[in-house]
Amino acid sequence: MRNIMLSTLILLSASSSLAEAHPSLPSIKGRWTIYRNDLVPADVQAYVKNDPSVLGNKLVVRADKVYWIGRGDFNETCRRPSVRSGPKRNFDIFCDGKQKFGPDASDPNFAITKTGVIIAKWYDGLILYLKRRP
């Protein structure tokens, strides 16, 4: 519980200057690449800061699905995605209108900053920073 609360604080503070008040699926469509990762402190860590197995993985956001192109644990796919805005201009992506894409926590998993960076809370305490690819 402590880690979930801490990761929420990290995501909210990092997303204090969002580009949109209410992000939508059209505003986040495209290909995104992880260029940096941080970690929520925990007793056991599966990854390290700027982990080579994390960096470079790609997130593809389309109208019909959201999915990872990558290695390791980055293999989740979301069909029929929808975006729901949360507090502090954060948002979640839902699959088939029901299940969250990413960790199923009560707080939002995503935010997009004015500089166009998506910040995502992911499994194993990862905080991901993604840039849109041209």
CATH number at residue 84: 2.40.128
pLDDT for 18-70, tens place per residue?
Answer: 345 678 899 899 999 999 999 998 888 889 999 999 999 999 999 999 999 99
Rounded Cα distance between 130 and 8, Å, is 17
Q: Which domain holds residue 121?
A: 2-132
The answer to whether 116 and 131 are in contact (CB under 8 A) is yes
pLDDT for 66-103, tens place per residue?
Answer: 999 998 889 999 999 999 987 777 999 999 988 999 98
Sequence-separated contacts (24+) of 67-75 with Cβ below 8 Å: 73/123, 73/124
Alpha-carbon torsion, ordered 131, 7, 53, 59, to 10 deg: -40
As for how many domains the chain has, the answer is 1
Other beta carbons less than 10 A from residue 102's beta carbon: 21
Per-residue pLDDT at 44: 80
Distances from the Cα of 20 to the Cαs of 27, 46, 99, 111, 112, in angstroms?
9, 33, 24, 10, 8
